[in-house]
Amino acid sequence: MYEDEAFKKSFDPKLARRILRYTYPYWKVILIALLALLVTTLTANVFPLILKFAIDRAIVPVEAAALAERYHYLLIASLLFIFVRLLDFVARYVETYSLAWLGQHVLFDLRSDIFRKVQRLHLAYFDHTPVGRLLTRITSDVDAINQFITGGLVGFLADFFMLVGIMGFMLYLNAHMALLTFVVMPVLLWATTRIRTGMRDAYRLMRIKLARVNASLQENLSGVETIQLFTREERQEKRFDEVNRELRDAWVLVIWWFSMFYPIVSFLGEATVAAMLWYGGGAVIRGAVTFGLLVAFLDYVRNFFKPLQDMSDKFNIFQAAMASAERIFKLLDTPEQITDKPDALPVKSFAGDIRFDHVWFAYKGPDEPVSDEEWVLRDVDFHVRPGEKVALVGATGAGKTSTVSLIARFYDVQKGRVLMDGHDVRDYRQRDLRRAIGIVLQDPFLFSGTIEFNLRLGDESIPMERVVEVCRFVGAHEFIEKLLQGYQTVLSERGGGLSTGQKQLIALARAVLHNPDILLILDEATASVDAETERQIQRAMERVMEGRTSIIIAHRLSTIQGVDRILVFRKGRIVEEGTHAELLAAGGYYARLYELQYAEAG
């Protein structure tokens, strides 16, 4: 499990500004929302004044008044109440809709930026970053940013405006009573500060535990087949219960701090109302203030504490948003180690000349020190001529797959060069380089969708006739036609429902369909299939490799006897080179591998 770093600040202006940059394109919507917010602030504070007017002028007038006049004042108060309520309804609708619209657009933009960033990151980043952690960034962390914009920041402004409005109206009604009410604010601010510190630490802990739960879920769901195969359900349930329990306890701690605030604010609020009732009631008895003013003032006092209570929610939102923003922007700021040079060479076609020039490689960052044990390739030097078919063989971990990854520039070398047609692969645009390379992996990845989509990968410029032609060429058309809906058959996640051999044929057809006529790299494509399917795939591979520079990572040595040359890897070095017959005659490491595999097959 990877622990997220605890966020050290409750509110970071730099992070807040970066979040707000996502709102700049929608400034007109923000302006409309703020205007609606001002209207709702005014309308909410007008209601107690209307109530005061009705009480003092119609219900308990100080002086005797005509009955008709009193009903007239009641009618005016009622109509004003309905008008202000309608105005408040319209303003609140505009405010709510505008903020929701803004939040969803910011969510869309932020998720798009994260997804684009993840697509551009080098593969080494995913070697040490759990998928569940990335899912947390693009789901719950992004949602916390949405809450910050729509509920936190704007909500805080709304509460602030409401608080200022209430204080202004209270001072307007009776400055002395208002100042007595404000005496409670220092006590409330002190309590809020103490509780907010505990809430901040609790939120840090909760976000860490949430990321751990997401990572555990992703790992267990991806490995459910292995878990069931080894009957590890009970053990995995216990492990998940541990991280789930830690998340539950962290949430309980958050709730404990959160629940402390409301009773304190509520008690102070009711105590202030009681004090104002005693003080104001006495003033009414003495005739210093009207009864309507007392009722209106008590309404303002009650409303005075509501925005203060709501601000506690905003502090929680700020805590979550700042922690999430730090993690999101840390991801967005991750350096892209594999990048194009400003003067990168555009290429339409490659001859297929490949040269490894004394290459040293380790799965480390460009500036990270490499120990002697961490080198995966050690001084690898070889040349593949255009159109040549070369096989890479060796024990697991010898460096074969790493060699292939360097040709496609999924990683960069620490020492030496990988040359394509005489130029370092780092001199080419990645898009052009990889477009020229067809890769069929041992475990090909198929997306959810139709077989046609998996073949085209969204490229509608490829005609259906070409799709069928290529599938016939590699031998996939026959089994596809037998499916219920043929090329429109919908595959489940990772191609569920197809055999390993069928997946391999679709992957092979996909590679050919996207015209890798410059270079084709096959990575142990027949390692996990039966002998009959292997022969079918082998025939397809022979047809596909014709006229192409081809590098084969061989799992079964019997399948590579017809290649032009074999490179034998051992502990990151090339220890032998030659044809199948030459290497057997030499009686070296390759011959021992072949004899061992032949004995196992026998």
Helix (H, G, I), strand (E, B) or coil at 510: helix
Say if residue 83's pLDDT is above 70: yes
Task: Quote the percentage of the chain above a pLDDT of 90.
Answer: 15
Q: Which amino acid is at 517?
A: D
Instruction: Write the burial class of residue 600 (CB in 10 Å: 0-12 exposed, 13-18 middle, 19+ buried).
Output: exposed
Say if residue 527's pLDDT is above 60: no
- pLDDT value, residue 528: 55
Mean pLDDT for all residues in the chain: 82
Confidence of residue 120 (pLDDT cuts 50, 70, 90): confident
Say if residue 1's pLDDT is above 50: no
Q: Which tokens in the block code for residue 281?
A: 């009631």
Q: Are 7 and 323 in contact (CB under 8 A)?
A: yes
Phi, psi of 345, rounded to the nearest 5 degrees: -80, 125
- pLDDT value, residue 424: 93
Side-chain half-sphere of 162: how many Cα atoms within 13 Å?
Answer: 23
Per-residue pLDDT of 383-435, as tens digits, reads 999 989 999 998 888 888 889 889 988 889 999 999 999 999 999 998 888 88
Mean pLDDT of 157-182: 86
Say if residue 372's pLDDT is above 80: yes
Q: Which tokens in the block code for residue 302?
A: 């009650």
Q: Compute the distance between CA of residue 471 and CA of residue 477 in angstroms, rounded to an integer.
A: 5
- pLDDT value, residue 524: 55
The winner for highest mean pLDDT among 160-164, 201-205, 455-459, 490-494 is 160-164
Mean pLDDT of 317-345: 84
Mean pLDDT is lowest, of 90-94, 237-241, 395-399, for 395-399
The winner for highest mean pLDDT among 39-53, 488-502, 517-531, 549-563 is 39-53
- Give first-to-last CA distance, the chain, whole Å: 44
Q: Is the full-model pTM beyond 0.85?
A: no
Q: 3-state SS string over 81-127?
A: HHHHHHHHHHHHHHHHHHHHHHHHHHHHHHHHHHHHHHHHCCHHHHH
Output 546 or 481, whichever has higher pLDDT.
481
Q: Compute the distance between CA of residue 196 and CA of residue 257 in angstroms, rounded to an integer.
A: 8
Q: Which tokens in the block code for residue 370?
A: 């490499």
Tally of CB atoms within 10 A around 63: 4
- pLDDT value, residue 91: 93
Residue (of 162, 26, 51) closest to 101 by Cα position: 26
Q: Which tokens in the block code for residue 128?
A: 């040490």
Say if residue 602's pLDDT is above 60: no
Q: Compute the distance between CA of residue 150 and CA of residue 23 in angstroms, rounded to an integer.
A: 11
Output 39 or 147, whichever has higher pLDDT.
39
Q: Compute the distance between CA of residue 563 and CA of residue 116 in angstroms, rounded to an integer.
A: 40
- pLDDT value, residue 566: 92
- Tell me the β-bridge partners of 570: 573
Q: Compute the distance between CA of residue 119 and CA of residue 191 in angstroms, rounded to an integer.
A: 46
Mean pLDDT of 525-550: 71
Q: Compute the distance between CA of residue 52 and CA of residue 410 in angstroms, rounded to an integer.
A: 74
Report residue 339 CA to chain centroid gap.
Answer: 22
Residue at token pair 């976000």: 207
Q: Compute the distance between CA of residue 59 and CA of residue 30 in angstroms, rounded to an integer.
A: 43
Torsion sign across C-alpha atoms 298, 299, 300, 304:
positive
- pLDDT value, residue 600: 55
- pLDDT value, residue 392: 92
Report residue 297 CA to chain centroid gap.
Answer: 49
Confidence of residue 8 (pLDDT cuts 50, 70, 90): very low
Mean pLDDT of 239-260: 87
- pLDDT value, residue 349: 81
Q: Compute the distance between CA of residue 444 and CA of residue 464 in angstroms, rounded to an integer.
A: 22
Say if residue 467's pLDDT is above 80: yes
The winner for highest mean pLDDT among 30-39, 148-157, 394-403 is 30-39
Q: Compute the distance between CA of residue 505 and CA of residue 475 in angstroms, rounded to an integer.
A: 7
Burial 539-551 (b: 16+ CB within 10 A, else e): ebbeebbeebbbb
- Tell me the β-bridge partners of 565: 390
